[in-house]
Amino acid sequence: MSFADCVHSRRLRTLPDLLDEIRGNAAAYDAVVLSHALQRLAKEFRKESQHGAAAGSLRELVLPALSALCEQLPKLISEFDSWAVAVFLWGLSVLNCYDNAVFNLLCQRGCQIARSEDHQMRPGDCAMIMLAFGRFGHYHPELLRCIPQVWYDGKKRVDRIPCMYFHASVQSGLPLLPRSC
């Protein structure tokens, strides 16, 4: 049963079930499943944190699964679309885990997508990336330069709140170098 099938069948109801699934099967995931797994991991982490679990001990519990996902990233990054890049950065920021190599790999892929001839990056994905930059208090200058162009080229109304959050985070004295796990 694939990860996507597990999610839809509700077999992975608890964080320990999800962690076991990721640790046991991350090497078999494709790019879509990898990004879905990190999104689900971040959502479960956030849910557990809001229910009173200590973030530090919860993060220690999640790190082996996160490492298993990040190990697969170099093999699959060329298959990532803009949503996968955005959700991976967002997930890392929710987990408050920064790895320079992973961050740069994701941001470089985001730049490739934003600069592609068919402009595959979507404004909503840019908003998620801006939220991640704001949470990290750190950004990738090249990808940051691409985002306004995507917003201005887009035909849809774009939520500018993530951009304001990022700007306020960086201007409020947060370090430009991110926090590590």
- What pTM was estimated for this model as a whole? 0.81
- Residue 70 · residue 102 · CB < 8 Å: yes
Domain boundary residue among 79, 109, 128? 79
Phi-psi region of 2 (alpha: psi -120 to 50; beta: other; left: phi over 0): beta
Q: Residue 139 carries which side chain, given as an amino acid letter?
A: Y
Same domain, 20 and 49: yes
Same domain, 16 and 96: no
pLDDT band at 178 (very low <50, low <70, confident <90, very high): very low
At residue 58, the pLDDT reads 83
Same domain, 98 and 163: yes
Cα separation values, 140 from 36, 84, 115, Å: 23, 17, 15
Same domain, 85 and 75: no
Residues 29-60 pLDDT 10s: 999 999 999 999 999 998 888 877 666 688 88
Same domain, 66 and 91: no
Residues 71-113 pLDDT 10s: 999 999 999 999 999 999 999 999 999 999 999 999 999 999 9
Same domain, 157 and 68: no
Same domain, 89 and 71: no
Containing structural domain, residue 121: 81-181
Number of structural domains in the chain: 2
Indicate the Cα dihedral angle 139, 62, 58, 174, nearest 10°. Answer: -10
At residue 123, the pLDDT reads 77
- Residue 53 · residue 14 · CB < 8 Å: no
- Residue 63 · residue 13 · CB < 8 Å: no
- Residue 163 · residue 150 · CB < 8 Å: no
Same domain, 118 and 175: yes
**Between 53 and 138, residue with greater pLDDT:** 138
Whole-number Å distance between alpha carbons of 150 and 115: 9
